[in-house]
Amino acid sequence: MLRDRIRFQPLLEKLCTADEAASLIQDGMTVGMSGFTRAGEAKAVPLALAERARQHPLKITLLTGASLGNDLDKTLAEAHVLARRMPFQSDPGLRKAINAGEVMFIDQHLSETVEQLRTRQIPPVDIAVVEAVAITEHGGIVPTTSIGNSASFAILADKIIVELNLSQPVTLEGLHDVYIPSRRPARMPIPVVTPESRVGLPYIPVPPEKIAAIVVSEKHDSSAAIQPPDDETNAIADHLKALLLKEVQAGRMGYDLLPLQAGIGTIANAVLHGFLDSPFHDLKMYSEVLQDSTFELMDAGKLTFASASSITLSAEMYQKVLPRLAEYKHHLLLRPQEISNHPEVIRRLGIICINTALEVDIYGNVNSTHVGGTHMMNGIGGSGDFARNGYLSIFVTKSLAKNGAISSIVPMVSHVDHTEHDTDIIVTEQGLADLRGLAPRERAALIIHNCAHPDYRDQLQDYFDRALTRGGQTPHLIEEALSWHQALREKGTMRT
């Protein structure tokens, strides 16, 4: 059985326990681990590391693809293992440590981390820890349900720990397309020209002698806790479908649209789910994560191909998809996140990008990360990679939060992740604002009228009207611009 999975014989000698493998990780090291949107992370070694740190404290810099599953970020944070963490996380426990200033969190565009590593602009990865379904005849590592940054971590690290996960189906092999851009100054174009373009290898190529330890595990990926669509997410999906239908009718694209990207989370998943009931067909995705909706659309014959960096499903959908992976495989491709999120490819393909905003201001600036302007939620993730370079940059949010105490449309966002230059369309359950070709004053009128909740519309209009008396390209009452956030902090509501 193990020989089927470890096909380069000499590596069988590297089999060891998670404790033994974790002992290779020393205090002060930079460690690059697999894992992207809670899929395909190494599961046994980080746990062993946390266990050891409880007895013998140590600190590392942890780099991953994106968020880890199985509460690993929480466990590592609680064991005080993390001095530094990049480029993304989504764990409530780690979030707390980050906001307390205990963990230095570097929130990055997901396509950029390995560029900085490759050019040694950030400290090098000492050890890579990569979950795999198999090691090939020549020592190549076959990843599991995500690629993330694993390929570059493994290629750039001095040593590699492989976690061979026997619970991950071997049918995953052949799903991956590992392409690494060549080094500058002789870098060539990335040859991806359609979501289906296969341009690399189905494994991570490394010299087998760099594999210092192999640990066998059987733990499953965490399942996604996706909320089912509700009236508001359905309304958002409807507004969006109406917009895309107008694009088709205007002759800008066919009913197969352009490739779709959707950020992780309930709203984006619900929006894609809404495409089940739409006139669009032969759709393709070029995204960073594939959620339940991808497979629903495939099963319904709506979606013909999906390229991403990971697969993150609900427990129910895992049960359905994993046994039938061989069937889906011809319609799927997993890429390094550098390629799934690469500005070059996103701009070339002309992606329709759907990402979630925490709050949006009347001029279309978007906060995706910071609650109250100060406290980190998850991170910018790939939203910037896609929003900047896509054909259409769409941000979705419900117009209210916290039972109406918070308006998601505010006079000025308390933190900017995406500027007005990078936001084409804002959608709430109230309606949609198409901001293309509009100046800030025109954007404000539209966002207030179409997207704000009626409970806050007058209050926003009043702000805007008074700001207009001061003039400017982007009128504001600078002394009042963040007063809604101040009121929320002091009185618990943005309502006046």
Restricted to residues 452-471, the positions that interact with a second copy (CB under 8 A) are 467-468, 470-471
Nearer to a second copy, 325 or 376 (CB): 376
Please report, as residue ranges, which positions from 159 to 198 form the binding site for a second copy (by CB under 8 A).
181, 184-191, 193-194
81 DSSP 8-state letter: -
Nearer to a second copy, 1 or 186 (CB): 186
Choose the stretch contacting a second copy; rule: CB under 8 A; options: 41-49, 148-156, 230-238, 410-418: 410-418
Given the structure tokens 């769409």, which residue do they identify?
394
Q: Decide: is 337 part of the binding site for a second copy (CB under 8 A).
A: no
Query: Closest Cα partner for 130 from 81, 176, 184, 199?
Result: 176
Among 489, 491, 492, 496, binds a second copy (CB under 8 A): 489
Q: What is the CA 379 to chain-centroid distance, rounded?
A: 9
**DSSP string over 319-383:** HHHGGGHHHHGGGEEE-BHHHHT-HHHHHHHT-EEEEE-SEEETT--EESSEETTTEE-S--TTH
Q: How far is CA 142 from CA 24, 145, 262, in A?
A: 22, 10, 26
**One of 131, 288, 296, 420 is an active-site residue; which one?**
288
**Which secondary-structure segment (H or E) carries 159?**
strand 159-165
Q: Decide: is 10 part of the binding site for a second copy (CB under 8 A).
A: no
Among 342, 352, 447, 450, binds a second copy (CB under 8 A): 342
Given the structure tokens 């709050």, which residue do they identify?
359
Please report, as residue ranges, which positions from 214 to 273 form the binding site for a second copy (by CB under 8 A).
250-252, 258
Please report, as residue ranges, which positions from 65 to 94 form the binding site for a second copy (by CB under 8 A).
84, 86
- Residue 440, strand partner residues: none
Report, in Å, the least distance between residue 383 CB and a second copy. 10
CB-based contact 145:221 (threshold 8 Å)? yes
Among 4, 9, 55, 120, binds a second copy (CB under 8 A): 120
Among 261, 269, 365, 450, binds a second copy (CB under 8 A): 365
Report, in Å, the least distance between residue 309 CB and a second copy. 18
Among 24, 47, 60, 98, binds a second copy (CB under 8 A): 98
Please report, as residue ranges, which positions from 316 to 335 form the binding site for a second copy (by CB under 8 A).
none
CB-based contact 257:303 (threshold 8 Å)? no
Q: Is residue 479 among the annotated active site residues?
A: no
Among 74, 353, 476, 494, binds a second copy (CB under 8 A): 476
Please report, as residue ranges, which positions from 423 to 442 form the binding site for a second copy (by CB under 8 A).
424, 436-439, 441-442
Packing angle of the helix pair 231-249, 266-273 (nearest 10 deg):
50
CA distance linking residue 273 with residue 265, whole number of Å:
12
CA distance linking residue 224 with residue 293, whole number of Å:
12
- Residue 61, strand partner residues: 30, 84
Among 99, 223, 266, 459, binds a second copy (CB under 8 A): 99
Nearer to a second copy, 113 or 145 (CB): 113
How many residues make contact with a second copy (CB under 8 A)? 85
Report, in Å, the least distance between residue 399 CB and a second copy. 21
Active site residues: 288
